[in-house]
Amino acid sequence: MSSSPLASLAGKRILLGISAGIAAYKSASLARLLKKTGAEVRVVMTEGAQAFITPLTLQALTGEPVRTSLLDPEAEAGMGHIELAKWADVILIAPATADLMARLAHGHADDLLTTLCLATEARCVMAPAMNQAMWRHPATLANADRLGQFGWTLLGPDAGDQACGDVGLGRMLEPEAIFHQLSETLASSGHPSVEAMTIHRDLAGRHVVITAGPTREALDPVRYLSNHSSGKMGYALAAACAARGATVTLVSGPVSLPTPPGVERQDVTSAEEMLAAVESRLPCDLFIACAAVADYRAAHVAEHKLKKTEDESGLTLALVRNPDIVATVAARADRPFTVGFAAETQSLETHAGSKLERKRLDLIVANDVARGDRGFGSDDNAATLLWRERDETRRQPLPLQSKRRLADAILDHVVERLP
């Protein structure tokens, strides 16, 4: 493993393909970022891409001539397209339009860029960019899945405002996000990392609501009750669901994490706020309650800061129970498939199994937070999945691994059981 993901790009030969999307103007920034790491960058543009950005701009940024035509007599005298295909360590297409994805998914080689992609043995990565309705179309989702089967890594797309005025999933990731995800993908001896891959589109068309992070329950204007949850597991699950094609709503307690690409995020503070936000997004197909919700809150929040008194007996706080968010969702008449989490310090499976039964969950993820190498605040975790099948409790241990890999392992089990 490289000491830094960014070091994985130094010296790499990257062929940057640009197709005919409005996001092509961002490719100039991407080329500049790649060059700054010490990568060699050559650019191939489709005919349509040149309507959005000129080859001269990319040539100035890379210091290399830009190729635009398959039938360039000067280049093809030496079979230039084959030479380029062999030269590249990585082919990165950004933006990749719906049309280009369709042509690559079906083996077309009708211009220089698609021909290179069929002729290369390099790592192939693309950043899709299109209107949100085009991305959601079954044909595009099927093409994305087919490209994954062919070994392509898809970075994004992202959600947000689009050039056409629509809002939704389909816009190209920002150049910095593509740059960092590509770095992570290549960090492990050139092999793809699960973190950056979109191979399975098995949640396409599904709406997933996920809670993440801690809640904070106010005692007075400056103090609160909370816990050590970092939100990393919930955010990893949100990223994994989006990568599998789901529409994802992430209801997050206070954390210092960036929103995963393609995910709608709503920030909340207290358990009551979290429940209200979740209920406002229902019904959904899948609910994953990953947040570490405070079980209790103050019966009365002090209007002013509580002062230390001379009484040596200490301070007594009156607490009341918070709403049980996952049990509330699981009890609905239109209940989604409901996944809970059990963070325990002892008798892991006993406590988790009891929670599975009492709260009528479809699956529970149990993890031991007493160990220092996993759980709260860590980038890694291990878990045991518990579920009911034919009146028996079944279990599946998942070994210690990155939380992003663990998220995909959990989703593999969830997808098998989704109605």
Domain boundaries, the chain: 5-196, 207-417
Handedness of CA 328, 333, 335, 340 (dihedral sign): positive
**Given pLDDT bands bounded at 50, 70 and 90, which one contains residue 224?**
very high
Beta carbons within 8 Å of 380's beta carbon, 6+ residues apart: 373, 374, 400, 401, 402, 403
Question: Which residue, among 87, 99, 79, has the nearest Cα to 43 in the 3D structure?
Answer: 87
385-407 mean pLDDT: 89
Cα separation of 124 and 189, whole Å?
15
pLDDT for 48 beyond 60: yes
310-332 mean pLDDT: 90
Cα separation of 127 and 168, whole Å?
16
CA separation, residue 98 to residues 16, 95, 102, 264 (Å): 17, 10, 6, 23
Q: Measured over all CA atoms, what is the biggest interatomic distance in the chain, rounded to whole angstroms?
A: 92
Give the homologous superfamily in CATH for domain 207-417. Answer: CoaB-like (3.40.50.10300)
HSE toward the beta carbon, residue 292, CA cutoff 13 A? 23
Q: Concatenated DSSP letters for 392-418?
A: EEEEEEEEEEEHHHHHHHHHHHHHHH-
Give catalytic status of residue 284 as yes or no: no
Q: State the average pLDDT for the chain.
A: 86
**pTM of the shown model:** 0.62
pLDDT for 128 beyond 70: yes
2-21 mean pLDDT: 77
Q: Check for a shared fold between 5-196 and 207-417.
A: yes
Tell me the helix, strand and coil percentages in the chain, rounded to 5.
Answer: 35, 25, 40
The whole-angstrom distance between residue 177's C-alpha and the CA centroid of its chain comes to: 11
Cα separation of 197 and 148, whole Å?
8
pLDDT at residue 311, as a whole number: 73
Instruction: Give the tokens for residue 271.
Output: 């358990």
Long-range contacts of 265-269 (CB under 8 A, 24+ apart): 268/215, 269/215, 269/216
143-160 mean pLDDT: 83
Cα separation of 39 and 35, whole Å?
5
**Radius of gyration of the CA atoms of the chain, in A:** 25
Amino acid sitting at position 78: G
Q: Which position among 117, 124, 164, 241 bears the catalytic label?
A: 164
pLDDT at residue 83, as a whole number: 83
Give the homologous superfamily in CATH for domain 5-196. Answer: Flavin prenyltransferase-like (3.40.50.1950)
Cα separation of 151 and 285, whole Å?
29
Q: Which residue has the higher pLDDT, 107 or 164?
A: 107
Cβ pair 215, 269 in contact under 8 A: yes
Instruction: Give the tokens for residue 108.
Output: 């077309």
**Given pLDDT bands bounded at 50, 70 and 90, which one contains residue 169?**
confident
